[in-house]
Amino acid sequence: MPQLDNKTFVIVGGTTGLGLSAARAFVAAGAKVVVVGRNSENVEAATTALGQAGRGLTGDATQPQTAVEAIDLAKREFGTFDGLYHVAGGSGRRMGDGPLHEVSDEGWASTIELNLTSVFHSNRAALKAFTALGQAGTILNMTSVLGQSPSPKYFATHAYAAAKAAIIGLTKSTAAHYASQNIRVNAIAPALVDTPMSERAKGDDAIMNFIKAKQPLDGGRIGDPADLNGAATLLMSDAAKFITGQVLAVDGGWSVSEGS
């Protein structure tokens, strides 16, 4: 695993699931981390689990100041800020997302705010910090295979897909603009992973049978949060210092499989 010694990262959405798994991996590789989450109990539990290398901040990723405060906390507690990993987001199904002709105005606005506007806020805060410090840095965004490889039958949430596709555009355009400043911006695109967001899918036998063919690697299974840790650690590390503007699918073969 690439090493992250002497680096300090902010993980927005880092107190549960994919974010907490990454935080543990980053710390194991030598980094210090500030994890951000909406639930204060989760923040406290994550901070305790990370030990002296972790700090926590309770905040809403859709609010502009949350990432700013997290970056300030990283600099204050650990003396540096080297990178940001944005994981926060989620399904808009309960808010009114779905097939486009059924998407409510509220469902669209809420899903875009949760999944795209939050990334805008965190990425802007990180880029302002790197620019003010006059230093290199790295940003890693969480998108989804649904932004590039849709599943019309089982995963028809079109506001969510639009937001995740937009994250790819934002990642690539900012990577191009800031490359001359040695600031790298990349994204990871997972498929179905075992997190609280996947509860609906995990409880549906038809979807689970679909996943066996759609994600055929390792016996055809739903992903585990730890499956993303290697890619995230690599892209946040100096081993990836010549990589920017890339979207890495960590999807068990989803994007190259037909499913059934």
Active-site residue set: 160
Letter string b/e over residues 202-230, b meaning 16 or more CB atoms within 10 A of that residue's CB: eeeeebeebbeebbbeeebbbbebebbbe
Nearest Cα neighbor of 137 from 221, 253, 244 is 244
- Whether 24 contacts 48, CB under 8 Å: no
d(CA 129, CA 202): 40
d(CA 72, CA 173): 26
CA terminus-to-terminus distance, the chain: 35
- What single letter denotes the amino acid at residue 6? N
